[in-house]
Structure 1
Amino acid sequence: MTQTPTPTADTVRRLARSLLKDGGKGGGAQSAAGPDVRPVAAGAEPATWWVGTRHVLRLAPDREASVRRRRELRLRDLVRPLVPVALPSTVAYGEWAPGLLCSLDTRLAGGTGEEHRVSAVGEADLAGLLSGLREVPVRQAETLGVPRVSPRSLEALRRVAAEAAGRLAAADEFDPGRLNRLTPPAAVQLAAQPGTAVLVHHALTGGHLVVSADGRVRGVLGWDAAVVGDPAEDIAGLALAVGAPAAVRAATLAGYGARPCLRGLWLARCDALVRLAEALAGPATAPSPRPPRTRLRRAWEPIMLERVTDLGGDEVP
């Protein structure tokens, strides 16, 4: 088996110079050796690099990722006319190693959802995103290779989260009694409804939201994880990224009713419990548990909808 080469600044600079030439565009700050390049995030083998001031070079680490990235290039063109936020445009693409895709994308101006809080107008931007995703023709997305994924069982997730809550209680991280509102009957009641599958971004993390200093959501990254499935998953992702109240307000503005909003809320809360428990149980060299703690806090922010909705009743609209 051929070993995948380790990307270095020199190899990335040569790739970027070649792709910029093919794309017919300058890359911002350049030296005689080529454009300035640097990893987007620290790592032993960084796969995403800033190229000058206007571009981003993404290197697929394996063949499976290459398939997803090729699909993403076509999917973004399908989604772009239907959403009010920007999506990256690909200047050029090729292979950086045999069978491994590299793509040079435009860089969207702004910070991330981790750096800037989303404003009320930004919530409207998110509502437009959710509305637009619902308008994408599902059959057309599947023709591009977007996989269809079955909805998760909220009851099964609730049981796993209850175990995680117990471990977090022992570490003085969480009051497990807060999970009691999601009873087994309520979890069943909030099951995904048949015939509600839409295009789901499936990775609406703070790092994938491009947010300006005034709180507007200017763009969305990370489309290679998209699936056809449960829209509550994107509501859950937003609850972890921008907080439960903002996520539910955005989903409500997008036309979603109480059921998918509450389902998304509880998916996020259960996921947050499980992820923080896993982070605390990891080795001492594991990443800091601070991000999982932040996501837990955001997901468990109270919302008005759960105060006025009786999960013990016969029906959630």
Structure 2
Amino acid sequence: MTVTDELDEAARADLVERKECKRCRAPAGSPCRTHMGTVATRYHTGRYEGVPGLRSGPPIRIPADRNPGTAWAAGPELPDQAPARPGDRIGYARVSGRSQDVEGQVTALTEAGCVEIYPETISTRHKEREEYPKALAALRANDILTVTRLDRLGRDMIELIVSAQDLEQRGNRLEILSGPLAGMYDPQGPGKILFVMFAAFAEIERDFIRDRTMDGLDTAAAKGKRGGRPRAVDADRLAIALARRAEGESVPSIAERIGIGRSTLYRAMDDHDRAASLAAATDLTTSRSASQ
């Protein structure tokens, strides 16, 4: 839901009437008129197509207090509007896993002058982002949503395009601090096309990184090397742990003695027990087949 979704009919009308209608020539501060010289029942679409959050919604009705259907008369002239305030930077930071550090992004956003920062850790398995809608809600007129890289704005092409549409509805700009797409972008008008292209580039780049990573792992495996973290419980520690367990010592006590976490040791023992059971079952099947 956008900010304009929450406005009542009169507030929507006030937004529309800030500009002259190019179709019926109704001046700013006046409702639209029909060719018969009466107050129209709806504002002409072209009058509010430049109002963020209204151009994509349903037609805007002229409120009853403007007397639709009666003889049209120009409304009072609008006072000169105050100059637009300079926009603040609202930061959004995201990492995909608990092992990743979001603080580096927060630091960069702080140094860029963000007055508010909304960091979150969310994996690709979770569809709903909690902090991103809060960052959007914090944006006011002329504010800028700032991210360290374009791929922090979304986890795939669809999410990036939806994010661009969110900004376009609000009339806000996007600032990217680093990467090949660093700069300030306006998602309205031609910027919409740029956003789609940027989203495609970001997804293609992630695919390239994924492919290079898999190629590297395949090459390492061919040389007898395995990627990933070293095993927390090596063969020697597991042998010691199994011997202590056989003597009746509890797993928590064993874990403390050999200096590893309880859950890690439980998993290692479970894996060992399953492998041993499978090996025993295989041996039993083989011996039965040989005796027949």
TM-score bucket of the superposed structures, by smaller chain: under 0.3
Q: Higher strand fraction: Structure 1 or Structure 2? A: 1
Q: Highest relative contact order (Cα 8 Å, sep 6+), 1 or 2?
A: 1
TM-score (normalizing by structure 2)? 0.23
| Bigger radius of gyration among the two | 2
